[in-house]
Structure 1
Amino acid sequence: MHSLTWNLELSCLTDILTYTLKSLTDLLLSATSSNLSEMSKMSLISDRERFARTLSTEVSPLNVEEEDLIKHRDSLVHWMQPH
């Protein structure tokens, strides 16, 4: 049970970091869109996606069903949305 809790905490942290990185990248893109070429935008987006993939593979939980993690992630992302 401790392993399950630890893996969910890692998953939660990964989701928070990924969501924060996505939000910051989106904010940067919208704030500087007139100054960035299309290629620079695509580079930033691919860097964000590569970082998110790295996070998810480095901290992938071992003893938790993927479906449970998806539900956990979705509820966390919903909770973090501005109301």
Structure 2
Amino acid sequence: MRQILSVAVLMAAGALAARGQNKGVLLEDLTWVQAEKVLAADAVIVIPIGAAAKEHGPHLRLKNDFILAEYLKRRVLAASN
């Protein structure tokens, strides 16, 4: 069975930007109370999805899709700040 992992990346200009902090926020690092404060109606949310165990042939690791999703997540976060 293929496992799909999803990680939410939040890029909002809302409350955090108003305080002069980074605009990009990883929801996975927040509590629900903190997330509620930064999730505005105009917030843009990016959800990278990559299989943690998917066969691509003998030359790639099973978590290749997950590695790519994590890389792109970090790039989007860096570009938003």
The TM-score, its normalising length taken from structure 2, stands at 0.36
Greater fraction helix: 1
Higher share of residues assigned strand: 2
